[in-house]
Structure 1
Amino acid sequence: MTPIAEKFLALLEITNRLRAPDGCPWDQKQTPQSFKHYLLEETQEVLEAIDADNPAHICEELGDLLFQIIFLSNLYQEKNLFTLAEVIDSITTKMIRRHPHVFGEATVASEQELRQQWQRIKNQENAEKLQAKEGRSTTLASENLTL
């Protein structure tokens, strides 16, 4: 196992231990709703550290933000809604899809073309999400009519 994988696994184990029956009472009672404030707070602290241009502080705050993401993912995993692996898979797939000039055959001649390509892909993703959502709404509506 690589050093980064070992460290990541250790952080996952810490998160699981905090939520375990013999873990931390404060962490055990957190919900996605109660945790939103802390996620926003840590994000703001990362931005402040970047503004201060202090690498050690940025490193610390990025660690805090990483913990927030892992912890929040764990809350959803406990409800069997999705896993951290699915979160990682989702962003991996998205970054590959949004960078066809790196991972595919597309070419871009300028930074402007790159931004336009990114926006086209993002717009297509949003349209597909909307179509899927509308499809679910239509299905639910027709099911309600048959009841």
Structure 2
Amino acid sequence: MPLHKPYKDIPGTTIFDAEQSRLGYWLNQFCMSLMSAENRARFKADERAYLDEWAMTEDQKQAVIARDLNRCLALGGNIYFLAKIGATDGKSFQQMAGSMTGLSEEQYRQMMLAGGRPAEGNRSLADWENRKKETL
């Protein structure tokens, strides 16, 4: 019996729950392998060959190759594990987060210093639908 997941209604938010954990198990194991200098070197030398050693889906492998971290999240990646990819590429967490929001590193930094994204209009998809109905 599936659980009710009210957090699925928050726009732009992927909650790393048990379902996501199962979905991304091998993706996250790959990311953790990048803690080893030897594995980082192997990955950088031939990304596809290294990824093919892992029981990841083709979608997961393509998301890693494209460095599409939002897609990696949707496919079960955990941001703390995905940070290993960024570190392998010489990127800071702030640079990675900026790329995930469509902002430059400086724009992302300024947004966070100003208090982050406003909650207004970002609370739930149901709120969006209700607002549409009110304007009709």
What TM-score, normalized to structure 1?
0.31
What TM-score, normalized to structure 2?
0.32
Higher helix share: 1
- Higher relative contact order, chain-length normalized (CA < 8 Å, sep 6+): 2
